[in-house]
Amino acid sequence: MLTKRIIPCLDVTLDRAGGCVVKGVEFVDLKEAGDPVELAKRYNEEGADELVFLDITASAHGRETMIDVIERTADEVFIPLTIGGGISSIDAIRQILRAGADKVSVNTSAVKNPDFIKEASDIFGAQCIVTAIDCKRNLDIKNNPDKTILELEDGTPAWYEVVIYGGREATGIDAVEWARKAEELGSGEILLTSMDRDGTCAGYDLPITRKLSEELDIPIIASGGVGNPQHIYEGFSIGKADAALAASIFHFREYSIKEVKEYLKERGIPVRL
């Protein structure tokens, strides 16, 4: 049985020398959480299976700074490193992989130009390409009969709408359909973030996580909403995710990665200790 992965996520803002990890709620109200390289070293030592860095500034200047952060991190940690945020060209992917990253995460650029996934996958291999999908619950099912309708925890029917530009723009695109298309185009993984849950510590958005896990053959990384180890357990046991991404509970030392993994192992979830 494949072990489930625990992946700390570092949202990095690059408006200061060396970058800074921040955490917000529903993509806003950011507060500082520490130095990206130092946090990455800590998570490597604690037993994280992978790391995700998201460049949330993603300007041209920020991209240059991010390359420096990647190089410094790759020198210090020895687990897979995924980089995302504003990646929209083959050259950018090439630079990031050369700097020491193992995978890149594409989001808005892929929604705008789906063939970008295929082009990147053909050049670098599907194992290097993660499609990040940010989505939001939409209760308007009457005017959206073509969408994938799921039942929420309280029985309310809803569909999940893809949002881009850090959640600032709704697209009208059905998240389930988009995930299927990303897989067909050659994406190796899906990083699924529910905006409704991001930073809320209320647990993963299980209906959409489970749907994608059941529908797709590629791994699903659950993201958005972890407040305690039980939420991660539910992401695996109910959401059927292949990996669990979390930020706040690790950044602010509410729980260590080892504590989370021991909790999961006691409940029958296969993890690497």
Query: What is the domain extent for residue 154?
Result: 5-267
Q: How many CB atoms lie within 10 A of CB 97?
A: 16
The CATH number of residue 189's host domain is 3.20.20.70
State how far the Cα of 116 lies from the Cα of 130, in Å rounded to an integer: 12
| pLDDT value, residue 57 | 67
| Mean pLDDT of the region 199-228 | 96
Q: How many domains does the chain have?
A: 1
Q: Is residue 222 part of a domain?
A: yes
Q: Is residue 272 part of a domain?
A: no
The chain-wide mean pLDDT, for the chain, equals: 91
Q: Is residue 273 part of a domain?
A: no
Residue 271 has pLDDT above 90, yes or no: yes
| pLDDT value, residue 14 | 64
| pLDDT value, residue 56 | 74
pLDDT digits (tens, 9 = 90+) for 134-171: 999 999 999 999 999 999 999 999 999 999 988 889 99
Closest CA to 87 of 103, 72, 75, 76: 103
pLDDT digits (tens, 9 = 90+) for 29-87: 455 657 888 889 999 999 999 999 988 765 555 566 688 889 999 999 999 999 998 89
Q: Is residue 144 part of a domain?
A: yes
Catalytic residue among 49, 55, 134, 205: 134
Q: Is residue 68 part of a domain?
A: yes
Q: Is residue 119 part of a domain?
A: yes
Pinpoint the alpha helices (H) of 84-174. 90-98, 108-112, 115-124
Q: Which pTM was predicted?
A: 0.92
State how far the Cα of 203 lies from the Cα of 233, in Å rounded to an integer: 10
Q: Are 22 and 32 in contact (CB under 8 A)?
A: yes
Q: Are 224 and 273 in contact (CB under 8 A)?
A: no
Residue 13 has pLDDT above 70, yes or no: yes
The larger pLDDT score, comparing residue 200 to residue 49, is at 49
Q: Is residue 178 part of a domain?
A: yes
- Buried b / exposed e over 160-186, threshold 16 CB at 10 Å, is bbbbbebbeeebebbbbbbbbbbbebb
| pLDDT value, residue 86 | 85
Annotation marks residue 242 as catalytic: no
Annotation marks residue 217 as catalytic: no
* pLDDT interval class at 27 (50, 70, 90): very low
